[in-house]
């Protein structure tokens, strides 16, 4: 069987996402979690391909799409958003080859840190990443609740105002990200603000801008960042309220295991863990008591 690994093309990104969904559901079903992934447009992949085509790769086996990998870079920080091999083609070294290509992407950009988020129960992949110098750092949990049946207890709600496309607003976002993550994410905020299904807001305590949050039309919260950990409970309660007001049937979020305030707020609203994940990186970074990822690919 001839296996070819090459740069991805725009017209095959959606097919690659179909492969990702099949691979994820094969994994989660085998581990007793049921089918967890659903197919969505490859908007972020297309955005990233336009921004930096060196970060997206596919593998072909006798002309059939057999695997895909997707990484992005922000400043000197490299993140592996996706690396999946079709269940029919696993065990043939395709994953190793794709990972090698993505690491070349990191080396080309002179990245000083590398990271990813993967399933906690995917021990084979974790072993592969550890051998490449990426180590488990903290658990990340996917929480979900029915919006109408959630137990919305009394909590402080912050004022909010929509994020605008101005130099001042972009500078504010960069400041929050630099403080919480250690690097700015200007282009990724640009992607979020250009998506009609996502609303971004700044959060205010009085007249002070203390954070930001994004909520999509499906009720998903994230990313979310605050200036101080003590603001997280109110920030999450505010984001939950905004998500429920979209009319969605469910509210969801990815919560780091060390973010006690977000975990407390989520459970107070009746949210429950649906599956566990883990953040792995070459070295420690960020303050995840002040930041909530959007999803395992966006971070």
- Can you give the CATH number for the domain in which 253 is found? 3.40.630.90
Instruction: Copy the structure tokens of residue 85.
Output: 């091999």
Residue 106 lies in a domain: yes
Final residue of a structural domain among 62, 91, 111: 111
The stretch 143-169 carries a mean pLDDT of 84
Residue 154 has pLDDT above 70, yes or no: no
Q: Residue 34 has what pLDDT?
A: 80
Say whether both 152 and 83 belong to one domain.
Answer: no
Provide the 10 A C-beta neighbour count for residue 289: 17
Give me the CATH number covering residue 86. 3.40.630.30
- DSSP labels for 181-204? TSS--HHHHHHHHT-TTEEEEEEE
Residue 134 lies in a domain: no
Q: Residue 51 has what pLDDT?
A: 97
Q: Residue 156 has what pLDDT?
A: 86
The stretch 155-180 carries a mean pLDDT of 96
Say whether both 66 and 161 belong to one domain.
Answer: no
Say whether both 84 and 173 belong to one domain.
Answer: no
Question: Where residue 152 falls among pLDDT bands split at 50, 70, 90?
Answer: low
135: helix, coil or strand? strand
Final residue of a structural domain among 58, 88, 111: 111
- Residue 229 is classified by DSSP as G
Say whether both 244 and 191 belong to one domain.
Answer: yes
Contact 80, 115 (CB under 8 A): yes
Q: Residue 75 has what pLDDT?
A: 94
Say whether both 184 and 74 belong to one domain.
Answer: no
Contact 272, 143 (CB under 8 A): yes
Residue 12 lies in a domain: yes
Q: Which residues face 111 on adjacent strands?
A: none
Q: Residue 92 has what pLDDT?
A: 76
Residue 207 vs residue 124, higher pLDDT: 207
Say whether both 284 and 152 belong to one domain.
Answer: yes
Say whether both 241 and 169 belong to one domain.
Answer: yes
Say whether both 89 and 46 belong to one domain.
Answer: yes
Residue 153 has pLDDT above 70, yes or no: no
pTM over 0.85: yes
Element (H, E) at 56: strand 56-61
Final residue of a structural domain among 111, 128, 162: 111
Residue 289 has pLDDT above 90, yes or no: yes
Say whether both 190 and 263 belong to one domain.
Answer: yes
Residue 14 lies in a domain: yes
Residue 253 lies in a domain: yes
Encode pLDDT of 190-238 as tens digits.
999 999 999 999 999 999 999 999 999 999 999 999 999 999 999 999 9
Provide the 10 A C-beta neighbour count for residue 91: 8
Q: Residue 30 has what pLDDT?
A: 85
Question: Where residue 66 falls among pLDDT bands split at 50, 70, 90?
Answer: very high
Domain that holds residue 87: 3-111
Element (H, E) at 47: helix 43-51
Encode pLDDT of 17-40 as tens digits.
998 889 888 888 887 878 778 888
Residue 243 lies in a domain: yes
Say whether both 149 and 276 belong to one domain.
Answer: yes
Question: Where residue 147 falls among pLDDT bands split at 50, 70, 90?
Answer: confident
Q: What is the largest CA-CA distance in the chain?
A: 64
Contacts of 104 (CB under 8 A, 6+ apart): none
Residue 150 lies in a domain: yes
Element (H, E) at 64: strand 64-74
Q: Total structural domains in the chain?
A: 2
Residue 32 lies in a domain: yes
Residues in the chain: 299
The stretch 272-280 carries a mean pLDDT of 95
Say whether both 96 and 197 belong to one domain.
Answer: no
Say whether both 95 and 165 belong to one domain.
Answer: no
Contact 259, 109 (CB under 8 A): no
């Amino acid at each position: 069987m001839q296996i070819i690994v090459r740069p991805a093309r725009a017209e095959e990104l959606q097919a690659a996402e179909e492969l990702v969904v099949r691979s994820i559901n094969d994994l989660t079903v085998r581990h007793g979690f049921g089918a967890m992934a659903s197919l969505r447009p490859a908007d972020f992949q297309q955005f990233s391909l336009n921004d930096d085509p060196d970060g997206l790769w596919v593998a072909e086996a006798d002309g059939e799409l057999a695997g895909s990998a997707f990484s992005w870079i922000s400043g000197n920080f490299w993140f592996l958003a996706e690396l999946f091999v079709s269940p029919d083609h696993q065990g043939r070294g395709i994953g190793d080859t794709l990972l090698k290509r993505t690491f070349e992407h990191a080396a080309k950009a002179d990245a000083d840190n590398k990271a990813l988020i993967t399933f906690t129960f995917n021990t084979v992949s974790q072993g592969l990443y550890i051998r490449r110098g990426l180590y488990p750092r903290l658990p990340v949990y996917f929480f979900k609740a029915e919006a109408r049946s959630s137990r919305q207890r009394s909590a402080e709600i912050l004022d909010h105002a929509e994020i605008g496309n101005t130099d001042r607003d972009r500078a504010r976002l960069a400041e929050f990200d630099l403080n919480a993550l250690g690097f700015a994410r200007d282009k990724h905020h640009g992607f979020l603000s250009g998506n009609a299904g996502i609303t971004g807001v700044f959060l205010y305590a009085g007249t002070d801008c203390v954070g930001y949050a994004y909520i999509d039309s499906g009720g998903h919260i994230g990313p979310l960042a605050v200036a101080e950990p003590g603001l997280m409970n109110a920030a999450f309660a505010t984001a939950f309220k905004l998500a429920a007001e979209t009319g969605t049937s469910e509210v969801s979020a990815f919560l780091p295991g060390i973010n006690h305030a977000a975990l407390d707020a989520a459970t107070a609203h009746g949210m429950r863990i649906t599956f566990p994940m883990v953040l792995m990186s070459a070295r420690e970074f960020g303050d995840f008591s002040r930041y909530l990822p959007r999803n395992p690919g966006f971070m």
